[in-house]
Amino acid sequence: MNNGKCFVFALLLISVLCGVKLFAQSTAAVHSAPGADPGSLNEAGAPPPEPDRAPARPVLIIPGAKVVKGTRSWDIDADSGKSQGAADFWFQHVNERERYVVPKNGAKLAVLRAKDFEKVTLDDLKKAALSDAKLSASDENPAILPGCIVAVRTSAGNYAKLQVTGFVPQSVGERNFPKRHIKFRFVIYRK
């Protein structure tokens, strides 16, 4: 062999040996890492993903506004008042002074006190003291008034935040039943 070929061969041999040494060091570091079980490494030399940690699914956030008519129900997930079977609550009217938001089909509600609507997070909704008890929107001792925020776990298992933006009469000239319908702005968090 001439000197040029020997030099190239020597460089090639050194780079291969260094690569093997670096691979051996990195493999040893993985095997000696605290809690590492050499038998649990995959072909790439890395530990397999933890089975109980499925990748997080993105949450679809849907904002909107809704007027729920008196004596009607609302399916929040479908943003519909047509389906009684999937409705999340019913706006019950006992008379012109007594009204309730009544959860249906396994949905749960809670009034969030001292919260700004924009700052209420999905975690806040999940931590709320949700209940299947009806919420009063009556003239005397109402639990919900304009500005009030209601946390909801829907019958489909999604979460929503509602803010009461007001009450409206059946028609413009109606004076004896001024709180016939309830208006909300809302954000739905779908899984």
- Per-residue pLDDT of 99-148, as tens digits, reads 999 999 999 999 998 789 999 999 999 999 999 999 999 999 999 999 99
pLDDT in tens, 40-78: 555 556 565 555 555 566 688 889 999 898 889 999 988
User: Which pLDDT belongs to residue 1?
Assistant: 53
Kindly tell me if the per-residue pLDDT of 4 is higher than 60: no
User: Which pLDDT belongs to residue 165?
Assistant: 95
Kindly tell me if the per-residue pLDDT of 29 is higher than 70: no
Q: What residue ranges in the chain does DSSP mark as E strands?
A: 60-68, 73-74, 89-93, 99-103, 108-112, 135-136, 149-153, 159-168, 181-190
Share of residues in the chain with pLDDT > 70 (%): 63
User: Which pLDDT belongs to residue 21?
Assistant: 46
Give mean pLDDT, residues 154-169: 93
What is the residue whose two structure tokens read 């700004």? 116
pLDDT band at residue 33 under the 50/70/90 scheme: very low
pLDDT band at residue 191 under the 50/70/90 scheme: confident
Kindly tell me if the per-residue pLDDT of 30 is higher than 50: no
Q: Report the predicted TM-score, pTM, of the whole model to 2 decimal places.
A: 0.66
- Domain coordinates of the chain in residue numbers? 3-40, 60-190
Q: Give the chain's mean pLDDT.
A: 78
3-state SS string over 10-43?
A: HHHHHHHHHHHHHHHHHHHHHHHCCCCCHHHCCC
Radius of gyration of the chain (CA): 31
Kindly tell me if the per-residue pLDDT of 17 is higher than 90: no
Residue type, 72: R
